[in-house]
Structure 1
Amino acid sequence: MKRTIVSGIQSVEARKEVGRRLRERAKRSAHHVIGRVKRDPIELLRASSVGRVEALVPLRYGRMAVSPFTFFRGSAILQAHDLRDTPNTGIAFPICGDAHLLNFGGFATPERQLVFDLNDFDEVAPGPWEWDVKRLAASLAVAGGHLNASRNAIAGFVATAIMEYRDRMSEYAQQSTLEVWHELVTLDRMIEAAATAKGRSLLTRGKSKAARRTHESVLSKMAYRVDGRWSMRDAPPALFHPAGPNSLLGERSDWSNSDAWTRRLARTFERYLRTLAPERRALLGQFQLQDVAFKVVGVGSVGTVCLVLLAVDSHDKPLFLQIKEANRSVVTQFFGAHACDHEGERVVSGQRLLQAASDPFLGWATGPAGRHFYFRQLRDMKVSVDVERLDNTRLNGYARACGWALARAHAKAGAKAVEIAAYLGRGHQFTEALIAYAFAYADQNEKDYEEFRRACRSGKLEARSDEDMAADFRV
């Protein structure tokens, strides 16, 4: 008598038929629709700032105000809102939720292989796989416009990413469950698959750079030693001690009392350790805490609580851990999924499911004031692309890499490669729809950005640059 670990498994042919039938629910050509854009972007952005450190919200807006592209990066809530009523296939599983082109990058697996993958999971939650694809497509159109690429070139970037996603998903549909689960998009494979010499050169330099970005390589840059103990250097607004003279957190009582919040942080760390496997706890037990600082990261995350812990082992070699606040996902808000019990656990579970290989120190805990946090390494051979330096050829190659990595992540997390591949087919209907979507959403992003800029100029929103914030404090 045949037995299966999971009951009710369908044959591959039956799953293909399910995928083809989904075209009746959501025509591939219907994905050009950008959704419900008759809304107040300012109010949505204000809503997404609730609960953040108030003193840092102006910096969030200041970073968003730099360009339409930085605005796009910081306004995931707008696109999630707009996608709510658009056609979708009904295939939902934990998606990245913010799969724009700068949320991909290179990093080391625990086995020290360099891979290219999604690297930001603050918005991860069950949602339609199409939302991730549309976020990527729109980001390529916005970035292309920022770089003054022609309309034809931008269409090419989007088409490259979508066709790579389609073709890789077709490959994964033919692989076994374990083959998909263990698939790695390594930098070596990407170098071999690069279509141009420029692409190979860029990837080779990225690989070399990643190999040098270790905890030890940044210790002397980020910290200094006094009386046998390491202390991180204040560099406001990017890094500062919460209760120190360069703090950007104001006179809030929960930060000004250094001893009190350090004790609370110690309790949070103990809760975090309980979410790790025993061997990881044993590994962390070989390090001694040296210092804790507040770090302001990214664009969309500015204002959320983010701390960096510096610890060293008996050889005085460092380990940097990041403690980052996790708030409710925009996917959860607008797709209608049930709220989770712990936002930090949501991020960690989603990252482990979507990434090919995740940080061995990933964990979560509830911290002071009931805030939810997740833990990870701050640096471990991590590298990201500098979009500003990409020409059309290299951006097109990068788009291909992102399409490949996103397909791999979805194939693993959703276990629906067969259905998605059958839905997409081998034609160009979905690609053409996504090109139209990307252009339309880039136009909408421009409109929202201009309204945002007007709000900043009028004083409706306060926006301050990094330079403005740094000038208020001494180092």
Structure 2
Amino acid sequence: MANVQTVAERQQAGKLARERSPRSNNAMIGNVDRDPVELLQQNSEGRVAALVPLRYGRMSVSPFTFYRGSAVLQAHDLSGTTYSGITIPVCGDAHLMNFGGFATPERQLVFDLNDFDEVAPGPWEWDVKRLAASFAIAGEQMGINRGSVKDIIATAIHEYRDRMHSYAECSALELWHEIVTFERMLETATTSEGRQLINRAMEKAAGRTHESMLGKMATQRDGRWTIQDAPPALFHPGGPNSLLGKDQKWADSDEWKGALASAFERYLQTISPERRQLIAQFELQDTAFKVVGVGSVGTFCLVMLFIDGHGKPLFLQVKEARQSVVARFFETDIPAHEGERVVTGQRLLQAASDSFLGWTTGPAGRYFYFRQLRDMKISAEVERMSSTILQGYARLCGWALARAHAKGGGRAVEIAAYLGSGGRFAEALTDYALAYSGQNQKDYDTFIRACRTGKLESRSDEDMAADFRV
């Protein structure tokens, strides 16, 4: 059994961490003496070659989409900074678009982190800095004045600090059961505009179900459902619209289906017996390749469509898990299986996780994890937000991140003691976020030059879709 420290001992450890990394040091952006294009090319290795230009195309839209797709750069840079020495499971990619709403297994609509591809043990500060910088970059892109952007960043950090102090007083079980529901968000909303936005989000989530997706994504013929190709975003691996290349052996459908069936059986062993019993009531109808996100473009991602005896659907997403950018730049112990890393990290950090969350090893030794494709999932439409609403959203993200760190790491007391009750940490993070926004712009400019000169090939969704039109 572990030797449990007293609260006083843990508080003292948190305060001593300031000696290792004074809070003012958090303003430093780290080691930016690197070639961003070279790091991005390294990060693209092993991806589907035909989709890498689409990854760069989506990143090229704006400095913010570039930031979303370049977590590897910030992890590299942060590895050149000091940190408090307090290590917990971190999201690794906690920018403002990786928070959102989704349904718990009990059908509650909650707000939480929702992307864990980069999850790994690491410095908790890295998550807070990625979040803070995302608000600086988004705010500046939206044309919000510098003073208001500072207020938005400070709001997120103050909320993180205040919530962490509250969580430092909670028992382990209280933290494990803490959950940020949309009802609680309504109770804490400070403006009528904010409450209206939350209510609209709840209405939107209610309509985002497996059944609503079935008619949009698939067609039925002779009693069987088939997912409709919509390249480059969605296509059948062995079909005429495939972008996977001949070397992947996807054209041999029998060999591919056999490998997929074996991988699926291995997945079933990672979920609980009652979940296996539930899945047994569904029949697999079709499988297609789906291109998702910005940073994930080019990684292997499949959608599996199942139908039960009542004709009702279940969509499962099978997503490739690669080495975390945190693990690449921060030496730590993680599971040998990258899919298990994602699943374990998600279960630790989220208040309630997907019922079908599990992992497997696929063809060619690739690691994958499973989850539902859509279950009342919604994301913020940041570009439509006013400065006031973005500030309210920053507060929610700060709250959700503090909850995740407190539960997943069990170090709320230490982190709260390190933060203190004043504004020193928030001031440093605001300086950091604004400085890193400037660095992100420099990297974006370098990236765009590489695309224009042909060093990197960049193609938009529209350009690639035109390849398939008759």
Q: TM-score, normalised by structure 1?
A: 0.98
Q: Partners of 2:191 and 2:248 in 1: how far apart?
A: 56
Q: Partners of 1:86 and 1:38 in 2: how far apart?
A: 13
Q: Which residue of 2 aligns with 1:433?
A: 428
Q: Which amino acid aligns with 1:326?
A: A
Q: Which amino acid aligns with 1:442?
A: S
Q: Which residue of 2 aligns with 1:82?
A: 77
CA RMSD, 1 decimal? 0.9
Q: Which of the residues 137, 151, 171 maps onto 2:166?
A: 171
Deviation for aligned residue 1:326:
0.3
Q: Which of the residues 311, 317, 322 maps onto 1:327?
A: 322
The DSSP-based 3-state class of the residue aligned with 2:304 is strand
Is contact 1:242-1:294 (8 Å) kept? Answer: yes
Q: Partners of 2:395 and 2:125 in 1: how far apart?
A: 17
Give the unaligned 5+ runs of structure 2: none
Is contact 2:120-2:334 (8 Å) kept? Answer: no
The DSSP-based 3-state class of the residue aligned with 1:252 is helix
Q: Which residue of 1 aligns with 2:282?
A: 287
Which has the larger displacement, 316-325 or 258-267?
Answer: 258-267
Q: Which residue of 2 aligns with 1:73?
A: 68
The DSSP-based 3-state class of the residue aligned with 2:303 is strand
Change (3 A) 1:115 1:339: closer
Q: Which residue of 2 aligns with 1:373?
A: 368
Deviating above 6 A after TM superposition, structure 1's stretches of 4 or more consecutive aligned residues are none
Q: Which amino acid aligns with 1:234?
A: D
Q: Which residue of 1 aligns with 2:212?
A: 217
Is contact 1:231-1:290 (8 Å) kept? Answer: yes
Change (3 A) 1:416 1:36: same
Deviation for aligned residue 1:339:
5.2
Q: Which of the residues 45, 49, 55 maps onto 2:50?
A: 55
Change (3 A) 1:14 1:457: same
Q: Which amino acid aligns with 1:113?
A: Q
Q: Which of the residues 180, 187, 192 maps onto 2:182?
A: 187
Is contact 2:113-2:401 (8 Å) kept? Answer: yes
1:153-189 Cα offsets, whole Å, 9 max, x none, are: 1101100000000000000001111111100000110
Deviation for aligned residue 1:252:
3.3
1:267-301 Cα offsets, whole Å, 9 max, x none, are: 10000001111111111000000000000000000
Is contact 2:334-2:341 (8 Å) kept? Answer: no
Equivalent runs, 1:316-465 vs 2, <5 Å:
316-338=311-333, 340-465=335-460
Which has the larger displacement, 18-27 or 397-406?
Answer: 18-27
Which has the larger displacement, 9-18 or 438-447?
Answer: 9-18
Q: Which residue of 1 aligns with 2:308?
A: 313
Which has the larger displacement, 249-258 or 302-311?
Answer: 249-258
The DSSP-based 3-state class of the residue aligned with 1:58 is helix
Q: Which residue of 1 aligns with 2:123?
A: 128
Change (3 A) 1:285 1:65: same
1:83-131 Cα offsets, whole Å, 9 max, x none, are: 0021110011110000000000000000000000000000000000000
Q: Which amino acid aligns with 1:139?
A: S
Is contact 2:120-2:345 (8 Å) kept? Answer: yes
Q: Which residue of 1 aligns with 2:33?
A: 38
Give the unaligned 5+ runs of structure 1: 1-5
Q: Partners of 1:453 and 1:385 in 2: how far apart?
A: 27
| Number of equivalences | 470
Q: Which amino acid aligns with 2:273?
A: P
Equivalent runs, 1:292-307 vs 2, <5 Å:
292-307=287-302
Equivalent runs, 1:147-158 vs 2, <5 Å:
147-158=142-153
The DSSP-based 3-state class of the residue aligned with 1:442 is helix
Q: Partners of 1:468 and 1:260 in 2: how far apart?
A: 32
Deviation for aligned residue 1:474:
3.6
Q: Which residue of 2 aligns with 1:3?
A: none
Is contact 1:245-1:474 (8 Å) kept? Answer: no
The DSSP-based 3-state class of the residue aligned with 2:379 is coil
Deviation for aligned residue 1:253:
4.5
1:98 aligns with 2:75: no
Q: Which residue of 2 aligns with 1:246?
A: 241
Q: Partners of 2:272 and 2:259 in 1: how far apart?
A: 23
- % of aligned pairs identical? 67
Equivalent runs, 1:228-239 vs 2, <5 Å:
228-239=223-234
1:406-447 Cα offsets, whole Å, 9 max, x none, are: 000000011010111111111000000000000000000000
Q: TM-score, normalised by structure 2?
A: 0.99
Q: Partners of 2:284 and 2:340 in 1: how far apart?
A: 24
Is contact 1:106-1:384 (8 Å) kept? Answer: yes
